[in-house]
Structure 1
Amino acid sequence: MKKNLALIIAPIKNALIVLSIMLFVFSACKKDRPVDKETKYRELAWNYLSANAKTTVITPLQNAVITYETRDGVNVAAAMFNTTQDALLGPIFVYISIKDNKVLGIGARY
């Protein structure tokens, strides 16, 4: 009887251990990862652009380069969109406050 009971309990114990490990690993996946933040910054920047500016953008939204800077003492994310006018004016930079997730404005183009 003890032998039969041990044969039943051992697989259950192993299954509980595996499930516990899986729960631990997958619970870490719920945190806000930098990739998710960068996607949010790209979308905020894209929505801020005027319709006229959007017609000149050649960078796909998901490929916009995100850089991190400090401007006037504020930590910002800068989304860069290449355009058909880069040779003349340069790319479009949209600055977003990291703290507030609000668009601060567009950088000057020369």
Structure 2
Amino acid sequence: MKDCKDPSLSSKLDETWKKAYDEGRFHLLDGILYHRTKHTCVMALTDRTLINTILHECHDSVAAGHLSEDRTLERVKTCSWWPNWKKDTAKPVTDVKKPTEPQERNLE
């Protein structure tokens, strides 16, 4: 895995990517960009469609089991990274509406 450090590229990045780039958190392996933290190295995502797919698979899919916010955050953290991933991950979980109470039926 090689570090991605190109000074000319830093000036072209928007602020959400620039901080992580300047800290040397990106690595390139076989054409795939990875984001590295102290304990993990996961794919860095730029495509909104792919991000939405990850969010669906980590929260809404049958395999995910409609996890809580904390568990969904943990699941996303183990496979991918993008700027503001925590905010994006928490949003679908909080957008889920609680089921309404069943209406009482009068059986008389």
> TM range, normalised to the smaller chain?
under 0.3
Higher strand share: 1
Higher helix share: 1
TM-score normalised to structure 2 length:
0.23
TM-score normalised to structure 1 length:
0.23
Largest Rg, 1 or 2:
1
